[in-house]
Amino acid sequence: VHAENGGIIARNSEKLLEAGVKGPEGHAASRDDQVEAEAVNRACVIANQMDAPLYIVHMMSAAAVQSLRNARRVAKHPIFGETLAATVGTDGQAMLVSLVYNPPGSHYKNACFRHAAAHVLSPPLRDPSTPEAIIDALAHDDLQVIASDNCTFNEKDKELGKNDFTKIPNGVNGVEDRMAILWQKAVNTGVMDPCRFVAVTSTNAANIFNLPSKGRVAVGADGDVIVWDPRLEKTISAATHHHAVDFNIFEGQRVVGGPQYVIVNGRVCLDDGDLRVAEGYGKFLPTPPNSPYVYGEVPTTPQPERVEYLPSPARVTNGTPTELQISHKLEATSVSGCSTPTGRKMREPGQRNLQNSTFSISQLQISHKLEATSVSGCSTPTGRKMREPGQRNLQNSTFSISQEMEGLDTKTSVRVRNPPGGKSSGLW
């Protein structure tokens, strides 16, 4: 998962462009660390609810790592975090002071568009405290992998967004300098030991992506070996690197420690600084799904216990209703078929049930009731007693409106449009 909130970024970018912010500084302003942290948390919640492992790529801020750290404490499944060489090797502030390319202040606010645009990637570089926080997370297994996310563009390519930062191609270099940068920043400073260095640069990625022949030295594995010289010194520069790009975000940084020999599948590709790469020697590496390293740790979510409900309400003795209790309950039920608590104790067997009645509404009573009903068919309380048999029912009437209307002249229903007082034809 690439963890950013696209909706917030789109809205922020729109507001910045409307305000006249069109340069690379707008790129960083449109997607701060909270936007990244929110997306990391959301991805972790969704994965946890779906009982799925999660791998979050290129995490760039301390806030995002904290969200990941919190999620890993309660997760039911593995969650892996990846960061970049760019994150630990540089930051949002200019690390080199130069009047032309690196004045004090942010890389993204640099007066040189070429320099500022060359650092544009997503998520963007953060504040100067970020590299230390990210290295600490790598050392303590809050992050498991450091990658390159290598995606380079020349100056001409980056100028596509000169008047609109949303159109600047995203991407920086990293693949060539990844291991040397981390060794300098983490191992040489004592934060990380060499074994952890191997894990985050090689072994963990091979395990997660199900490449059992990579990331280890063992019988049957590919003959991929790096002979590392911890005393090898180098100053990184675009003038000497092997990237097909005219800019290096680590420009001028001095690193101590680097590869002296690199053997790929038994063949020497780097010999004491001399690169020996044969075109067509590389091969595609399939990554089969369902790595045992990842899915072997996914627990089965326990299902909630099923609740057995009683078939009907009844008094229960030791969890089971008895026949006698049910019988007494039915006898205490009212005529309506509903039983309500009365506060009286249950009658003894053999006593007369005073709740039962032989009362019946006779046909005569029903007839009297119907006669007292009004013409509308509705009966309403009047406070008067029922009339005696044989008396005239004063509620009945022989009045008929149809008889009264017979013989009257009828008028047509033609609407007359005249002013108030009638129409006048006088001349004034």
Domain-embedded: residue 35:
yes
CA 213 to mean position of chain CA atoms: 35
Domain-embedded: residue 337:
no
Q: What is the mean pLDDT of residues 93-109?
A: 51
> Which pLDDT band, with edges at 50, 70 and 90, does 425 fall under?
low
* pLDDT tens-place string over residues 70-91: 999 999 899 999 999 999 998 6
Domain-embedded: residue 54:
yes
Domain-embedded: residue 325:
no
Q: Counting Cβ atoms within 10 Å, is residue 166 exposed (0-12), middle (13-18) or buried (19+)?
A: middle
Question: What are the φ and ψ backbone dihedral angles of 262, each rounded to 5 degrees?
Answer: -130, 125
Domain-embedded: residue 150:
yes
> Which pTM value belongs to this model?
0.69
Judged by average pLDDT, the poorest of 5-9, 266-270, 337-341, 349-353 is 337-341
Instruction: Please tell me the distance from the alpha carbon of residue 193 to that of residue 249, in angstroms, as a whole number.
Output: 26
Q: Which domain holds residue 133?
A: 6-295
Other CB atoms within a 10 A radius of the CB of residue 419 amount to 7
Domain-embedded: residue 242:
yes
Q: What does the longest C-alpha to C-alpha distance in the chain come to? A: 131
Domain-embedded: residue 143:
yes
* DSSP string across 20-63: T--STHHHHHTS-HHHHHHHHHHHHHHHHHTT--EEE-----HH
Q: Which two tokens stand for residue 292?
A: 């045992």
Q: Which percentage of the chain shows pLDDT scores above 90?
A: 59
Q: What is the pLDDT of residue 412?
A: 57
Q: Which two tokens stand for residue 225?
A: 């070996």
Closest CA to 32 of 17, 13, 47, 19: 13
* pLDDT tens-place string over residues 218-253: 998 998 999 999 999 999 999 999 999 999 999 999
CA 355 to mean position of chain CA atoms: 62
Q: Are 124 and 172 in contact (CB under 8 A)?
A: no
Q: What is the CATH number of the domain that holds 16?
A: 3.20.20.140
Contacts of residue 327, Cβ cutoff 8 Å, sequence gap at least 6: none
Q: Which two tokens stand for residue 278?
A: 């044969």
Q: What is the pLDDT of residue 114?
A: 95
Structural domain total, the chain? 1
Q: What is the pLDDT of residue 240?
A: 94
Domain-embedded: residue 124:
yes
Q: Is the pLDDT of residue 141 over 90?
A: yes
Query: Tokens 């990846």 correspond to what residue?
Result: 82
Higher pLDDT, 207 or 419: 207
Q: For the chain, give the number of residues.
A: 428
